[in-house]
């Protein structure tokens, strides 16, 4: 077995991205400009949505989305506990309250049956997170949202390219937010995109992403632009640079191929672990296209002599990098102290958290590296099974 460490993630950057960046650097226009516009247009075409607003992170997109639909102090927004803090922290930016909801045991997605119980007169929106790249039960979520007149802001940080019953993620909820962070299916280093079919929300997000100054403010240094601008609202500084967009334009061309490569690795893992009762492989629901951002195994700890941490250490000793997605929000100090959440409030996420490990899954992995992960997991199970 090779001694070289296999990292949990490595981006797939080709000569196309490199020359696109060099061309942008040489163009003399580095910040948001024509490349960001092209990236937005390409993204809208790829997703099949009306409007795409390029920003510098998914967190920024989520913040802008909540601002656009009018979240205010004192409102409540439903978010899953099984997510990254970004999903909930943006709610706190408004002095609104993130109301956590437990996950389903199979997909680890938010449990729609529990959403309805969390709704109060203050609830204004739901932020479903497509965990690992597999769509939430959007029919159920949209039904609840319509019944209670709630906005649906999808956190699709993991879900590119992904589909739900034939519909592309990015065309379903009111606003959908994507991430181009380094580990995501496509990357711009740091970056994100908000998609919507609503022209008012798109315009609002665009304006607020650049200080809340009047439209096309980015043009003010161009020949067509004017020095005059007006500040309409106190906005944010969330625009995506043309350097990032230059990478994104090239990455997007490869997005389907990247998705297919991840799906092939997932299928190899499924096959490689199919005879091991000590681990559960991810459950895929029917009629979905999974983006396979994450491949999360669940350990059956009663069949093993080691815990999850020791399992991760055993894989590390074999040169395999892993991660854990996620430490549920209700177990973090901030959420415990601010909202008084206890492990018992979210029994499913609390229990599953003890047993989950995310394995490496990215297009740059070679056949022998994928085989190494399968072998590493199998060896660990064989060595530590009861």
Ligand X SMILES: Cc1ncc(COP(=O)(O)O)c(C=O)c1O
User: Catalytic site residues?
Assistant: 184
Count of residues for the chain? 386
Residues 22-61 close enough to bind ligand X by CB under 6 A? 57-59
The dihedral built from the CA positions of residue 7, 12, 14 and 17, taken in this order, carries a sign that is negative
In the complex, the smallest distance separating the C-beta of residue 62 from ligand X, rounded to whole angstroms, is: 7
In the complex, the smallest distance separating the C-beta of residue 182 from ligand X, rounded to whole angstroms, is: 9
- Residue-wise burial string across 342-374, b where 16 or more C-beta atoms lie within 10 A, e elsewhere: eeeebebbbebbebbbbbbbbbebeeebbebbe
Distance CA 310, CA 313 (A): 5
Q: Are 118 and 99 in contact (CB under 8 A)?
A: yes
Comparison of 181 and 236: residue with beta carbon closer to ligand X: 181
**Closest by Cα among 12, 74, 2, 73 to 362:** 12
In the complex, the smallest distance separating the C-beta of residue 154 from ligand X, rounded to whole angstroms, is: 10
Provide the phi-psi class of 261: left if phi over 0, else alpha when psi is between -120 and 50, else beta: alpha
Q: What is the DSSP letter of 331?
A: G
Q: Does 155 sit near ligand X (CB under 6 A)?
A: yes
Q: Does 194 sit near ligand X (CB under 6 A)?
A: no
Of the residues 179, 185, 281, 289, which one makes contact with ligand X according to CB under 6 A = 179
In the complex, the smallest distance separating the C-beta of residue 325 from ligand X, rounded to whole angstroms, is: 7
Contact stretch for ligand X (CB under 6 A) within 6-14, 46-54, 151-159, 305-313: 151-159
Comparison of 157 and 370: residue with beta carbon closer to ligand X: 157
Q: Does 185 sit near ligand X (CB under 6 A)?
A: no
Of the residues 78, 82, 100, 157, which one makes contact with ligand X according to CB under 6 A = 157
End-to-end CA gap in the chain: 25
In the complex, the smallest distance separating the C-beta of residue 226 from ligand X, rounded to whole angstroms, is: 33
Q: Does 129 sit near ligand X (CB under 6 A)?
A: yes
Q: Does 169 sit near ligand X (CB under 6 A)?
A: no
Q: Are 344 and 282 in contact (CB under 8 A)?
A: no
Of the residues 24, 44, 52, 87, which one makes contact with ligand X according to CB under 6 A = 87
Comparison of 210 and 240: residue with beta carbon closer to ligand X: 240
Contact stretch for ligand X (CB under 6 A) within 26-34, 154-162, 227-235, 332-340: 154-162
- Residue-wise burial string across 177-189, b where 16 or more C-beta atoms lie within 10 A, e elsewhere: bbbbbebbbbbbb
Q: Please give the residue ranges that form the binding site for ligand X (CB under 6 A).
A: 57-59, 83-84, 86-87, 129, 155, 157-158, 179, 181, 192
């Amino acid at each position: 077995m090779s001694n070289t460490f296999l990292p949990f993630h490595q981006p797939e950057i080709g000569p196309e991205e490199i020359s696109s960046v060099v061309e942008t650097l040489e163009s003399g226009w580095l910040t948001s400009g024509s490349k960001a516009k092209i990236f937005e247009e390409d993204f809208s075409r790829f997703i099949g949505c009306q409007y795409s607003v390029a920003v510098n992170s998914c967190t920024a997109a989520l913040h802008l989305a909540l601002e656009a639909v009018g979240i205010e102090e004192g409102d409540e927004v439903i978010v899953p506990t099984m997510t990254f803090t970004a999903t909930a922290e943006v709610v706190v930016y408004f002095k609104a309250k993130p109301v956590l909801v437990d996950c389903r045991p199979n997909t680890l997605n938010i449990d729609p049956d529990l959403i309805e119980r969390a709704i109060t007169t203050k609830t204004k929106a739901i932020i479903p997170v497509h965990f690992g790249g597999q769509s939430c039960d959007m029919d159920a979520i949209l039904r609840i949202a319509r019944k209670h007149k709630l906005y649906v802001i999808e956190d699709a940080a993991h879900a590119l390219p992904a589909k739900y019953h034939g519909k592309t993620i990015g065309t379903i909820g009111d606003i959908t937010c994507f991430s181009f962070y380094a580990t995501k299916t496509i990357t711009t280093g740091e970056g994100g995109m908000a998609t919507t079919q609503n022209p008012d929300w798109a315009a609002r997000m665009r304006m607020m992403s650049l200080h809340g100054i009047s439209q096309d403010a980015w043009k003010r240094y161009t020949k067509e632009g004017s020095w005059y601008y007006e500040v309409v609202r106190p906005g944010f500084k969330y625009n995506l640079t043309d350097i990032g967009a230059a990478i994104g334009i090239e990455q997007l061309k490869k997005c389907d191929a990247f998705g297919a490569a991840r799906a092939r690795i997932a299928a190899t893992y499924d096959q490689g672990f199919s005879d091991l009762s000590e681990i559960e492989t991810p459950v895929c629901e029917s009629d979905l296209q999974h983006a396979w951002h994450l491949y999360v195994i669940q350990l059956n700890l009663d069949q093993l002599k080691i815990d999850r941490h020791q399992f991760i250490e055993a894989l590390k000793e074999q040169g395999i990098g892993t991660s854990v997605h996620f430490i549920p929000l209700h177990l973090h100090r901030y959420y415990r102290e601010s909202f008084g959440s206890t492990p018992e409030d979210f029994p499913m996420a609390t229990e599953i958290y003890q047993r989950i490990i995310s394995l490496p899954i990215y297009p740059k992995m070679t056949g022998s590296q994928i085989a190494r992960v399968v072998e590493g997991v199998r060896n660990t199970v064989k060595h530590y099974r009861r």
